[in-house]
Amino acid sequence: MKVAFISIGDELLIGQTINTNAVWLGKEFSERGFVVEKVLTIKDKSAEIIKALDQVSKEVEVVIITGGLGPTKDDITKKVLTTYFNTTLELHTETLQRIEAFFESVGRPMLQVNIDQALLPVDATILKNEMGTAAGMLFERDNVITISLPGVPYEMKHLMTERVFPIIEKRFPVVSSYYETILTQGIGESFLADRMSDIEDELRAEGLELAYLPSPGMVRLRITGEKSAEGIDRVKFYVGQIEDRFPQYVFGRNEDELSAVVGQLLKQEGATVTTVESCTGGRIASEIVKIAGASEYFNGGFITYSNELKMRLVHVQEETLLKYGAVSQQTVEEMALGGRRVLESDYAIAVSGIAGPDGGSDEKPVGTVWISVAGPNEVLTKRFLFGNDRSRTIEKSVLTALNLLRCMISKINFEKSN
């Protein structure tokens, strides 16, 4: 079974908004055994919408259209679809009542534009939206199902989950491919490929597929096989092979988040962690707190951006700062040890670096970052070179620091990779 997504909106084409809807839809449909055939991102114009519908209707069984159903005056999808599917708009009483109830529940007055949203095509199946005012619509013609949804991500997800997938799953029972993704931190794509070329050759010889998916500080490896008992076993076998070879780099699978993996390890140990951040400015702490239930192992931390606060809050010695500078092994170690002591934590992560664009020197170029993790039995301190881009340096520092902590808790030997 094939599916295509049509994302409508100039804001997507001119790069003002990221198409996260296509990301979510891609994942959900793949998991249900659909082949995601293509994503068309097009203009908010009648002719373009019609052209896209004509095209994909020949290629797929299901078309999902997102965007263009909001209450404001620049949204036209509903009108175009009503014409395209030869039907007319009529007041949909249930939807009107729902919109009225919605506005009452949030204690806001209802506007005329919201009332107009209850005008819906007669020949469509109306998909009740409990998260907002724009209903979804399902049209059917020549064995192709076309579904129109609002572009607001949480409304779209609600409608897909509660209304659309129950229909889809009944019509198209799952048969298809199975994949798992291995998540690695701390090694580049080429090096990983080189160090596992034997495994790659073997799995390809067995008919599996392997894709390398790099992002700042991470490479994901996706292994795909057939969705059969045997196929799944084969995928899992190679996942295990790769995990065994790279314990320092592989931190999880599929949807795992590094901060959740670390949180789980801390919970198992009954241990706590604190953070003392300079150039990452709280990003590590916020990554830890992103995980619900983090209060079990995280009480809080410090952002010591200035030298003065490094001394005052976590007792870095003035002498150390004068002699070695803020971005040095000695300073970052004292930050970690001080933070651990002051907040009585089992582990402490400290980071000090030059995120740039200014502040670099020959000896300490922009992108130089020192990371230290202090634990009950040891202190691990490493220097990294993360390059010229400020936000990527911060991002890589966050992931690297969390991975260092993971290795320490799991007693995995940590060596800097090429």
Q: Is 205 in the site for a copy of itself (CB under 8 A)?
A: no
- Cβ pair 110, 100 in contact under 8 A: yes
Q: What single-letter DSSP state applies at residue 364?
A: S
Q: Which of 369, 356, 379, 350 is nearest to 277 (CA)?
A: 350
Residue closer to a copy of itself by CB (options 20, 361) is: 20
x-or-dash pattern for a copy of itself, window 333-352, by CB under 8 A?
----------x---------
Stretch that binds a copy of itself, among 18-26, 82-90, 165-173, 226-234 (CB under 8 A): 18-26
Instruction: Please give the residues from 143 up to 162 whose contact with a copy of itself meets the rule CB under 8 A.
Output: 152, 154
Residue closer to a copy of itself by CB (options 72, 93) is: 72
Q: Is 63 in the site for a copy of itself (CB under 8 A)?
A: no
Distance of CA 169 to the CA centre of its chain: 25
Residue closer to a copy of itself by CB (options 56, 124) is: 56
Instruction: Please give the residues from 275 up to 314 whose contact with a copy of itself meets the rule CB under 8 A.
Output: 275, 277, 279-286, 288-290, 292-295, 298-306, 308-309, 313
At closest approach, how far in Å is the CB of 293 from a copy of itself?
Answer: 8
Residue closer to a copy of itself by CB (options 139, 298) is: 298
Q: Is 389 in the site for a copy of itself (CB under 8 A)?
A: yes
Q: Is 57 in the site for a copy of itself (CB under 8 A)?
A: no
At closest approach, how far in Å is the CB of 121 from a copy of itself?
Answer: 22
**Positive or negative torsion for Cα 389, 393, 399, 400:** positive
Q: Is 105 in the site for a copy of itself (CB under 8 A)?
A: no
Q: Is 28 in the site for a copy of itself (CB under 8 A)?
A: yes
Instruction: Kindly give, in sequence order, each residue whose CB lies less than 8 Å from that of residue 281, ignoring residues fewer than 6 positions away.
Output: 303, 305, 394
Q: Binding a copy of itself by CB under 8 A: which of 161, 228, 268, 391?
A: 391
Q: Is 222 in the site for a copy of itself (CB under 8 A)?
A: yes
Q: Binding a copy of itself by CB under 8 A: which of 19, 66, 320, 331?
A: 19
What's the CA gap between 390 and 357, in Å, rounded?
Answer: 7
Residue closer to a copy of itself by CB (options 27, 323) is: 27
Centre a 10 Å sphere on the Cβ of residue 163 and count the other Cβ atoms it contains.
Answer: 21
Query: CB-hemisphere CA count at 13 Å for 149?
Result: 32
Query: First vs last Cα of the chain: how many Å apart?
Result: 43
- Cβ pair 164, 137 in contact under 8 A: no
Stretch that binds a copy of itself, among 84-92, 139-147, 162-170, 213-221 (CB under 8 A): 213-221
Centre a 10 Å sphere on the Cβ of residue 245 and count the other Cβ atoms it contains.
Answer: 14
At closest approach, how far in Å is the CB of 413 from a copy of itself?
Answer: 21
Cα–Cα–Cα angle for 258, 243, 222, nearest 5°?
75
At closest approach, how far in Å is the CB of 318 from a copy of itself?
Answer: 16
At closest approach, how far in Å is the CB of 170 from a copy of itself?
Answer: 23
At closest approach, how far in Å is the CB of 15 from a copy of itself?
Answer: 3
At closest approach, how far in Å is the CB of 119 from a copy of itself?
Answer: 16
Q: Is 30 in the site for a copy of itself (CB under 8 A)?
A: yes
Q: Is 206 in the site for a copy of itself (CB under 8 A)?
A: no
Tokens coding 86: 């030869």
- Cβ pair 56, 66 in contact under 8 A: no
What's the CA gap between 143 and 4, in Å, rounded?
Answer: 14
Residue closer to a copy of itself by CB (options 35, 412) is: 35
In what helix (H) or strand (E) does residue 2 lie, and over which residues does it extend? Answer: strand 2-8
Residue closer to a copy of itself by CB (options 218, 404) is: 218
What's the CA gap between 238 and 234, in Å, rounded?
Answer: 7
Instruction: Kindly give, in sequence order, each residue whose CB lies less than 8 Å from that of residue 144, ignoring residues fewer than 6 positions away.
Output: 57, 60, 61, 62, 63
- Cβ pair 93, 104 in contact under 8 A: no
